[in-house]
Amino acid sequence: MAIELASPAAFGPGCPWYDLHRRFPPNIDWCEEKICALVVTPFNSWTNLAYLIAAVLMWAAARHSRDATLRLFAPATALTGITSFVYHQSLNAFSQVLDFFGMYAFCVLLLMANLHRMRRWPTGARALHLYGLAVVALTSLTAVSFMLGLPAQATVALLIVLIVWSELVQSAASRRYFWLSVLAMGIAAALSALDLTRVWCNAANHWFQPHGAWHIVTALAIYLAFMHIQRAGKRESGS
């Protein structure tokens, strides 16, 4: 006798987060259908654990490093995963701004690491102060963009361009991990685009979604970028 699994209840009045989502919706609607639960989109939420796994690996690799920037990679990546989880769990404009805060925390850090290698970013406490100001400023800009109905996603795209530029304008003994990171990020971007445009979309499938796969592949891209920065730093210090 076949066992039929009950379909999750539809997202509607009386469900957690519904009123907040209805009054303040995010500016993007991913494919995965919303269900009546504390975690509104399960796959797109739980796949953010990939960032936490990457964060643990980076913490283990950098915990004894004298490079303060390198030691920031693990907490910044963990923050990226936590804020993205909260966003996909609740799906509203406020948690989406929080999601951008997490993305900026990592993107600005990677840009800072590149500029530091170019001797174009201060060191010590001033470096961390400037890093925090940049993340807060970009998050505030995103909140204003949402209020004006402007697509804040372009800011993240610009940061990625600046990260690639700041890497390529300086010499490097090897860019193997850098190009692997770029490749992984390109695959992740394609998956997310297929989801957003509904080219690849099975809304009722809570075991796989292309945007959730974006989380997993970008976590890999982040770890590969970390490995590149770590090795570049070791070569510069001669260790």
Q: What is the pLDDT of residue 4?
A: 46
Supply the pTM of this predicted model: 0.92
Cα–Cα distance, 74 to 226 (Å, whole number): 9
Phi first, then psi: what are they for 35, rounded to 5°? -115, 160
Cα–Cα distance, 139 to 162 (Å, whole number): 17
Residues 177-182: what's their mean pLDDT? 97
Amino acid letter, residue 88 = H
pLDDT range class, residue 7, cuts 50, 70, 90:
low
Q: What is the pLDDT of residue 1?
A: 42
- Helices 210-237 and 93-117 pack at an angle, to 10 degrees, of 20
Name the residue with higher pLDDT: 147 or 129.
129
CATH: 1.10.287, 1.25.40, 1.20.1070, 1.10.8. Which one for 33-237? 1.20.1070
Q: Could you count the other beta carbons within 10 Å of the beta carbon of residue 101? A: 20
Structural domain boundaries in the chain? 33-237
